[in-house]
């Protein structure tokens, strides 16, 4: 039986070759919404465990739903934490994004967390875990690494200063730049488009390209997204389910309600 039977290809496969992968955030915690986004035709979905109402259970169901569509799910954890990483891997998240990785030591800790001993510290629970399809994936323990993609987030001024060491850490499959937190840490809270922030993002992209390490970024403004694509990012997030719904529902209200009304529905509605 070929290895990896029943498991999707990891995000790292082919990453950095060919055109950039374009994706969106899945933040509602709702499998139906994620299913709608999974059928969008986009390349990848980022299921968010950091700023969204997602639990281990809701992420697990969304991965099952997304598996029916030609889209690659990546899951962001709330923190760079060995126990959480074990739980996310075991529920079947193969592609992990770890937030707030500021130096090579923190990157190495994330690498150790995704690897079984002797190469790391991941606890062994494959018989109980969807990761190994309850031990139906022949040889999973010896080859789990092949099924996992580890992406780390560069999103502070400190991380930008250390970007070459972070990107070059053995076992890191790519870096993902977070302009919102980066802007905040540079003293420009809420100003992801500030020229110094954009310049720092572009510096990180250039360093990663020089090292041959795949690099991604978040950019909701189309002009900025296109700028980062031109700079050579390999994967990008260009929108979010919650943001699309918020803006589209506001546009509906603006279209049909007389201007000046707040659009609140009657109490009995």
Ligand X SMILES: O=C(O)C(=O)C[C@H](O)[C@@H](O)CO
Segment interacting with ligand X, rule: CB under 6 A, options 114-122, 127-135, 140-148, 178-186: 178-186
Q: Strand, coil or helix: what is 28?
A: coil
Catalytic residue status for 119: no
How crowded is residue 59: how many other Cβ atoms within 10 Å of its Cβ? 27
Q: How far apart are CA 136 and CA 187, in angstroms?
A: 50
Among 178, 214, 216, 239, binds ligand X (CB under 6 A): 178
In the block, tokens 């990180």 appear at 204
Q: How far apart are CA 13 and CA 2, in angstroms?
A: 17
Among 54, 156, 169, 218, binds ligand X (CB under 6 A): 218
Closest distance of CB 99 from ligand X, Å: 6
Helices 104-114, 82-90: crossing angle, 10 deg rounding: 40
Measured at the CA of 268, the angle between CA 264 and CA 269, to 5 degrees, comes to: 55
Nearest to 172 by CA among 98, 119, 87, 84: 98
Segment interacting with ligand X, rule: CB under 6 A, options 31-39, 57-65, 174-182, 194-202: 174-182
Among 90, 102, 173, 181, binds ligand X (CB under 6 A): 181
Closest distance of CB 141 from ligand X, Å: 32
Q: Does 179 engage in binding with ligand X (CB under 6 A)?
A: yes
Q: Where are the beta strands (DSSP E) in 20-69?
A: 21-26, 44-48
Choosing from 9, 22, 33, 51, the catalytic residue is 51
Contact string (CB under 6 A) for ligand X, positions 48-77, x = contact: ---x--------------------------
User: Site size for ligand X, by CB under 6 A?
Assistant: 8
Q: Where are the beta strands (DSSP E) in 64-156?
A: 72-76, 95-98, 149-154
Pick the closer one to ligand X by CB: 90 or 181: 181
Contact string (CB under 6 A) for ligand X, positions 121-150, x = contact: ------------------------------
Residue nearest to ligand X (CB): 178
Among 90, 155, 173, 234, binds ligand X (CB under 6 A): 155
Q: Does 191 engage in binding with ligand X (CB under 6 A)?
A: no
For 147-183, the DSSP string reads G-EEEEEE-SHHHHHTHHHHHTSTT--EEEE-HHHHH
Residues carrying an active site annotation: 51
The binding site for ligand X (CB under 6 A) comprises 51, 153, 155, 178-181, 218
């Amino acid at each position: 039986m070929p290895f990896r039977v029943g498991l999707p290809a990891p995000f790292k496969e082919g990453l950095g070759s060919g055109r950039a992968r374009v994706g969106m955030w899945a933040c509602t915690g709702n499998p139906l919404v994620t299913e709608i986004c999974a059928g969008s035709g986009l390349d990848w979905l980022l299921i968010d465990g950091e700023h969204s109402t997602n639990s281990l259970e809701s992420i697990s169901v969304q991965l099952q739903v997304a598996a029916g569509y030609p889209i690659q799910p990546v899951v962001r954890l709330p923190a760079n934490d060995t126990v959480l990483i074990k739980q996310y891997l075991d529920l079947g998240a193969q592609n992990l994004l770890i937030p707030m990785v500021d130096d090579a030591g923190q990157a190495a800790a994330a690498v150790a967390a995704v690897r079984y001993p002797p190469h790391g510290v991941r606890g062994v629970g494959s018989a109980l875990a969807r990761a190994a399809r309850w031990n139906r994936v022949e040889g999973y323990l010896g080859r789990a690494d092949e099924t996992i993609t580890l992406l780390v987030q560069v999103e502070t001024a400190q991380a930008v200063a250390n970007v070459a060491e972070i990107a070059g850490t053995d076992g890191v499959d790519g870096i993902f730049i977070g302009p919102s937190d980066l802007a905040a840490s540079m003293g420009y809270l809420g100003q992801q488009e500030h020229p110094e922030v954009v310049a720092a993002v572009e510096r990180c992209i250039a360093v990663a390209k020089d090292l041959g390490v795949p690099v991604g970024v978040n950019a909701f403004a189309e002009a900025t997204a296109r700028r980062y694509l031109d700079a050579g990012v390999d994967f990008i997030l260009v929108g979010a389910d919650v943001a699309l719904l918020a803006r589209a529902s506001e546009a509906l209200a603006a279209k049909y309600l007389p201007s000046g009304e707040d659009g609140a529905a009657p109490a009995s509605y």
